[in-house]
Amino acid sequence: MSNTNVQIFDTTLRDGEQVPGCKLNTEQKVIIAEQLDLLGVDIIEAGFPVSSPGDFASVEAVSKIVKNATVCGLTRSVENDIKVAAEALKYAKKPRIHTGIGTSDSHIKFKFRSNREAIIERAVAAVRYAKSFVEDVEFYAEDAGRTDNEFLAKVCEEVIKAGATVLNIPDTTGYCLPQEYGAKIKFLKENVKGIDKAILSCHCHNDLGLATANSIEGAINGARQIECTINGIGERAGNTALEEVVMIMKQHPYLNLDTNINTPMLYDLSQLVSDHMGIYAQPNKAIVGANAFAHSSGIHQDGVIKNRETYEIIDPKDVGVTESAIVLTARSGRAALAYRAKNVGYELTKLQLDVVYKDFLKFADAKKEVLDNDIHTIIESSSIYNELR
């Protein structure tokens, strides 16, 4: 792994599956995991094995079929969780146990009714126990986003000593601002003894719409793993969207951050996950939404028809979308109408276009979108139709 490489930890099958009503069965998890492996994700978090017999079976089945990625199972800092996760992961070529505990004052006081010292003891014991089963142990400091940095550094130091190979710094509640989250990662990089032995990981939630920005800021400040989900699905407002962080790093090479993701697979994977989970990305969703490469206003359409780059910063083929769409609405101009008419077989002169355009606008004002068969209707009922035959 080069110093610029950011590992992509996909948690679609675990945090993503926590969306109410989006439960996946084992067969579905296996289908998605196979595609994630081909996509080139570095780690697949396949589930939370102790949570149910079904999830145990899914983690086990995913472990059997994944060829390249590390397969990971989530646990709490509880011995039985860890033992069960190790059992579910036993067929994985590269198994990882993901264990952890809440570290913010709020979690320590209200969830655990405990104190900082006792939390560190539990964290260390969990990592040591996980280490007795697998070499690769990731520790999460739940609610790290709201955890005091000095205490967080102490926790990180102790779990590294116990053998943690990855330190997950979750902004569990999606509270942090990007500069705050970036500064937290920088603080840990600079203040945790032994940090060179571990990878810092960003795990950001989207409650304020900042999950992607926070993850990128974390990577800029030294994190080398990002935890994310396809389409940004996940608990509450969701997790960091895999397709967004990957394309940000690709489109901004000066950041010196790269991934192993085969980006032309992104669109199909987004559709696959939507179909299995039964929830679809909103049309304006970055990268994979239905309108991400659709142009509807006349000014934009004229530009895109002349040169795609006038209004597109990503080549749609780079994310697996066949081509940009020129959508015809009452806001479209002559250039778009001529372009779409040509696509369905009518080469219009400037004068013919002037005539048809008037008819088109009347039609478009009455309809949300003008489709190919509507173009035929408009042209066939136009006064210039005979000239085209």
Contact residues toward ligand KIV (CB under 6 A) are 15, 140, 142, 168, 170, 172, 203, 205
Q: Closer CB to ligand KIV, residue 147 or residue 301?
A: 147
The pair of three-digit structure tokens given for residue 253, joined into one six-digit string: 């090479």
Number of residues that bind Zn ion (CB under 5 A): 1
Q: Closer CB to ligand KIV, residue 10 or residue 15?
A: 15
Which of the choices ligand KIV, Zn ion, none does residue 107 contact, using the CB cut-off of 5 to 8 A by kind?
none
Q: Closer CB to Zn ion, residue 146 or residue 376?
A: 146
Stretch 7-46 residues interacting with Zn ion (CB under 5 A): 15
Reference 262, options 102, 39, 62; nearest CA is 39
CA distance readout (Å), 222 to 169, 183, 184, 195, 228: 12, 10, 10, 11, 17
Is the CB of residue 119 less than 8 Å from the CB of residue 155?
Answer: yes
Which of the choices ligand KIV, Zn ion, none does residue 168 contact, using the CB cut-off of 5 to 8 A by kind?
ligand KIV
**What is d(CA 92, CA 99) in angstroms, rounded to the nearest whole number?**
17
CB of 145 to ligand KIV, least distance (A): 9
Q: Closer CB to Zn ion, residue 171 or residue 217?
A: 171
Question: 227 - beta bridge partners?
Answer: 9, 203
Q: Closer CB to Zn ion, residue 170 or residue 320?
A: 170
CB of 75 to ligand KIV, least distance (A): 9
Residue showing the smallest CB distance to Zn ion in the complex: 15
Length of the chain: 389
Q: Closer CB to Zn ion, residue 207 or residue 318?
A: 207
Which of the choices ligand KIV, Zn ion, none does residue 140 contact, using the CB cut-off of 5 to 8 A by kind?
ligand KIV
Place of tokens 């006081």: 109
Reference 236, options 279, 179, 177, 172; nearest CA is 172
CB of 176 to Zn ion, least distance (A): 13
CB of 248 to Zn ion, least distance (A): 20
Which of the choices ligand KIV, Zn ion, none does residue 212 contact, using the CB cut-off of 5 to 8 A by kind?
none
Q: Closer CB to Zn ion, residue 184 or residue 340?
A: 184
Which of the choices ligand KIV, Zn ion, none does residue 10 contact, using the CB cut-off of 5 to 8 A by kind?
none
CB of 170 to Zn ion, least distance (A): 6
The pair of three-digit structure tokens given for residue 33, joined into one six-digit string: 């995991």
Which of the choices ligand KIV, Zn ion, none does residue 182 contact, using the CB cut-off of 5 to 8 A by kind?
none
**For residue 150, with 0-12 CB atoms within 10 Å meaning exposed, 13-18 middle and 19 or more buried, which class applies?**
exposed
Which of the choices Zn ion, ligand KIV, none does residue 324 contact, using the CB cut-off of 5 to 8 A by kind?
none
Q: Closer CB to ligand KIV, residue 41 or residue 292?
A: 41
CB of 15 to ligand KIV, least distance (A): 5
Which of the choices ligand KIV, Zn ion, none does residue 81 contact, using the CB cut-off of 5 to 8 A by kind?
none
CB of 12 to Zn ion, least distance (A): 12
User: Which residues lie closer than 8 Å to 349 by C-beta, 6 or more apart?
Assistant: none
Which of the choices ligand KIV, Zn ion, none does residue 142 contact, using the CB cut-off of 5 to 8 A by kind?
ligand KIV
Q: Closer CB to ligand KIV, residue 211 or residue 379?
A: 211
CB of 240 to ligand KIV, least distance (A): 11
CB of 42 to Zn ion, least distance (A): 18
**Rule CB under 5 A: which residues touch Zn ion?**
15
